[in-house]
Amino acid sequence: EAGVAQSPRYKIIEKRQSVAFWCNPISGHATLYWYQQILGQGPKLLIQFQNNGVVDDSQLPKDRFSAERLKGVDSTLKIQPAKLEDSAVYLCASSLVYGFNTEAFFGQGTRLTVV
């Protein structure tokens, strides 16, 4: 079974530029999560989808971050414009169903450096 795929693995951009990350969850997984992991900290949830609908985006900085999950499969996370404090690893995860007793499988993440 293929795991959660993310691209790119690394990205370096200047502040005020825009950037997009892509995630392909495990086939058949209805729930998709985007996490931000700043160096030395645990992952922080940005947004979670159930199929193509947003369930929770309460911690997403909506003035600069956006995410979509068209057709309930792939997802993209965009930052526009980027700030220095956005430097982090962005992790995508998926789970089969929504709710309890559902293990979240993680991708390898995208390391973003804003200079």
Q: Which residues contact 75 (CB under 8 A, 6 or more apart)?
A: 22, 23, 25, 32, 34, 49, 67, 68, 69, 92
Query: For residues 43-82, which are near another protein according to CB under 8 A?
Result: 43-45, 48, 55-58
Please report whether residue 99 would count as binding another protein according to CB under 8 A: yes
Please report whether residue 42 would count as binding another protein according to CB under 8 A: yes
Please report whether residue 108 would count as binding another protein according to CB under 8 A: yes
Cβ neighbour number for residue 93 with a 10 Å cutoff: 24
Short-list 82, 102, 78, 76, CA closest to 6: 76
Please report whether residue 40 would count as binding another protein according to CB under 8 A: yes
Please report whether residue 27 would count as binding another protein according to CB under 8 A: no
Instruction: Enumerate binding residues for another protein (CB under 8 A).
Output: 33, 40-45, 48, 55-58, 89, 91, 93, 98-101, 103-104, 106-109, 111
